[in-house]
Amino acid sequence: GHIVRNWKVRWFVLLQDKLLYYKIEGGKKEPSPKGRILLDGCTITCPCLEYENRPLLIKLKTKTNTDYFLECCSREERDSWALDITGAIHAGHPVQVQELHRMKNSFRLLENISLHHIVERMCEGNTGIKLTRNLGQGNRYKETFTGSALVDWLISNSFAVSRFEAITLASMLMEENFLEPVGARSTEATRYSDPSEQFLDDSTALYMFAESSKKNISPKEELQFNISELSGTILKQGFLVKQGHKRKNWKVRRFVLRADPAFLHYYDPTKEENRPVGGFSLRGCLVSALEDNGVPTGVKGNVQGNLFKIITKNDIHYYIQASSKAERTQWIEAIKPLT
């Protein structure tokens, strides 16, 4: 209730410009609505983490600053309602509605992403992720959080705009040894070859901060780069996802394209120092887009869409994923004149 803060079951009906709610008596909804929420000028917050013991909330604030808290029965139902309500709020703006549906399962990471910064925010006392004792497979684990709780936290703190993006970020945190799975449910998932299936957006999958995220780890032997490689003019830079050469896993890297001399270097966004972790000369390279229908030969895991390939003159194959077809085209067009 928005006057008396008690919780009651209501039957909701979403119309184009309003949300109606009905009382239920004897298992049936009453013919007349108990109330309505006008959607014009509303803002929606989902996930809403204001009630620690109610993780399935949607918050609606009307243009008259009345707050409504709606609790759903599952995360899937919550996210479905949130998407449809948001679409109704923006019904007069069809371009925004299309963008909302595109974002639901899109891949678009924030610029200047820092996994270190995300972990620091997660560890903050009042605003960080809540650490609790959890029971799994008969064992009690201290200071853990669930996969779905982390996904909710990443979205509510604006590190991701959809569950798809949040799962991608959480997978990166686990891949870079900031997080580790705890218990049989989450540990079992790490055996999948597809990185996108290794982190579970699930309220029964447990995770904790890895020891490596609490202390400095001795760095791997650093790659040596000729200073002249890094002295070229920067033509383009941005975040892309690259398949590893050994483990064939996918990691976000910041790519920097340079001319005179023509090199493409990539950096680990989780590292504070501004040193590339890899790179190669573009002279004699071949660059081409990969088809979006199915998984191309040489690509491991269920990674589809917006892929392109660079083959060096030494026949080393690099598989890279952009966030959109337009971005893929921009990178290919920028690289081709330098080959």
CATH of the domain at 207: 1.10.10.10
Question: How many domains, in total, are found in the chain?
Answer: 3
Question: Any bridge partners for residue 145, and if so which?
Answer: 207
How many H-runs (helices) and E-runs (strands) does the chain carry? 7, 19
Give the domain-ending residue among 214, 241, 269: 214
Q: Residues 239, 331: one domain?
A: yes
Give the separation between CA 233 and CA 258, rounded to whole angstroms: 5
Encoded tokens for 114: 């820092």
Does residue 3 belong to any structural domain of this protein?
no
Predicted local distance difference test score (pLDDT) of residue 20: 93
Choice among 3-17, 38-52, 162-176, 205-219 with the minimum mean pLDDT: 205-219
* Mean pLDDT of the 198-217 span: 73
List pLDDT tens digits, range 321-330. Answer: 888 888 999 9
Q: Residues 119, 95: one domain?
A: no
Element (H, E) at 235: strand 233-243
Give the separation between CA 126 and CA 288, rounded to whole angstroms: 48
Say what the pTM is: 0.49
CA distances from 28 to 24, 34, 216 (A): 5, 14, 60
Q: Residues 251, 274: one domain?
A: yes
Give the domain-ending residue among 59, 80, 105: 105
Quote the domain boundaries for residue 250: 227-336
Angle at 109 between CA 51 and CA 107, to 5 degrees: 95
Only one residue has tokens 């200047």, namely 112
Checking if the pLDDT of 192 tops 70, the result is no
90: burial class by Cβ within 10 Å (0-12, 13-18, 19+)? middle
Does residue 2 belong to any structural domain of this protein?
no
Structure confidence at residue 221 as a pLDDT band (50, 70, 90): very low
Give the separation between CA 42 and CA 38, rounded to whole angstroms: 8
Angle at 133 between CA 56 and CA 160, to 5 degrees: 40
Does residue 290 belong to any structural domain of this protein?
yes
Structure confidence at residue 218 as a pLDDT band (50, 70, 90): very low
How many C-beta atoms surround the C-beta of residue 132 within 10 A? 14
What is the secondary structure of 252-290 as a DSSP string? EEEEEEEETTTEEEEE-TT-SS--EEEEEE-TT-EEEE-
> Which residues, in sequence order, are CB contacts of 210 under 8 Å at separation 6+?
177, 178, 179, 180
pLDDT: which is higher, 92 or 231: 231
List pLDDT tens digits, range 288-320. Answer: 998 876 666 667 666 667 899 999 988 889 999
Give the domain-ending residue among 43, 70, 105: 105
Q: Are 129 and 122 in contact (CB under 8 A)?
A: yes
Predicted local distance difference test score (pLDDT) of residue 304: 65
Give the separation between CA 106 and CA 84, rounded to whole angstroms: 17
